[in-house]
Structure 1
Amino acid sequence: MEDMYVKPGNQEQGWNDPPQFSYGLQMAHGPQRNLLNKRAVPVIASGLGVPPTAPPSSNPLLPPPCGKAHSPLHPVHPPPDGVAAPPVGPMRSQREADSSQSAPDMEAVMLALNRALDACRKSVKDQVCNDVAKRLRLLEDSWESGRLSLPVRRRMDTLSQELQSGRWESADEVHRSLMVDHVTEVSQWMVGVKRLIAETRNLSPELLEPLFNLKEQVQDPVEPVQVTGSQS
């Protein structure tokens, strides 16, 4: 998935600043817990059933046992300035996630959101609908002016498709991922999108029919009929 990536830490604070995991990786791995009340179990020697013998004396004045030598210590040095440690495992960088798909169509996204808003106007208060419309205009202006990054535009495309399919939980999940990963870009208008999802999911099937039919109209556009002139 494109939302499973690792963002670098704050390099201005220090080389060992921890990285920032995207919302998709946080949900995939789950919350990490430290079991502080777990009882420690002593290690038993394999096949003997008795604990291992005590180690030899650690007196620094005595020579080490025969056949054994102290292993040299290798201190860990930080990487050079400006170089972050690479991620481990299948996690991708944000740049790789950004280049995995093509740019979505703004008109298709806004058409789906506005179609959902039109369905809400028949049963939702005018004050709520007007506020949602105001937020959607902020979204469109930010998109047209180039202030939205490619991951934000892609996820909004996914959110609009989930709305057209009636998958409210998935649309709300995309909304939460945007608030976690790109809050500075979406904070001005995402509250309207969230309210739109909440109001649309409560509509009756009759009111949602124009929204659901929009997906079929986009997939199967009606070809214009060509009228040929009369032959003399």
Structure 2
Amino acid sequence: MAALRPGNDDKAWNDPPVFAYTEVQGTPAAAAPKRNLLNKRVPYPQDGIKPPSAPSVTGSAPPPTGPATPSVPSPLKTARSDDPTEASNKDDQKEAVGVNDTSKPSPACSPESLKEETLSNLEKAVAQCAPNIEKRKQDDVRKRLEVLKSVWEQGKLSLPVQQRMHELALELLNGNHEKANALHIFLMVDYVSEVSQWMLGIKHLILAAQAAQEKPDCDTQEST
């Protein structure tokens, strides 16, 4: 317990005593000093391997120690493609080229002779198909051929239409109905404004020629 100071005559008997704190008891020097822990040991590296050093301040990663993996070149594309879509597109292009690159009249053929040959072949086709066409349709076909002749003579047909009609009439007369029908579709798609007035008569001729070709086959099957 702290020692009592000697009494003061100036204070009354009931004044509280004043304690005197010595340097040992009241100053911070009296606190026990902290001891450093010196018994913590660091394990000695085994086999002479140095412990990993701390990363550098810049944060760059250490270079890889393993061998570099060689880059594998990408396989070259083959010249031939097995894509069915691409193959079908090529077939469509070939078919379109077959229609567009049909045999054209020689340059020596004059526009007048081109017209005469076309109309003559169409008249021959009408005569061949007459047994398979109704009288009313025959009259309609001949009327539309007259319209074709009129617009041709008036110079209202472009050169591509004249050439395709010459080819169509020749194919129809020779019995190549599929080729004639392909030329008919080509003209109706690309030159509908020029051919719409008379192309229906050509369509009747193509259908009648196909029916005439199929009729002998049906008769042969019935006889057997």
What TM-score bracket applies, with the shorter chain setting the length? 0.3 to 0.5
The TM-score with structure 1 as length reference comes to 0.44
The TM-score with structure 2 as length reference comes to 0.46
Q: Which has the larger radius of gyration?
A: 2
Query: Which fold has the larger relative contact order, with Cα–Cα distance below 8 Å and residues 6 or more apart in sequence?
Result: 1
Structure (1 or 2) with the greater helix fraction: 2
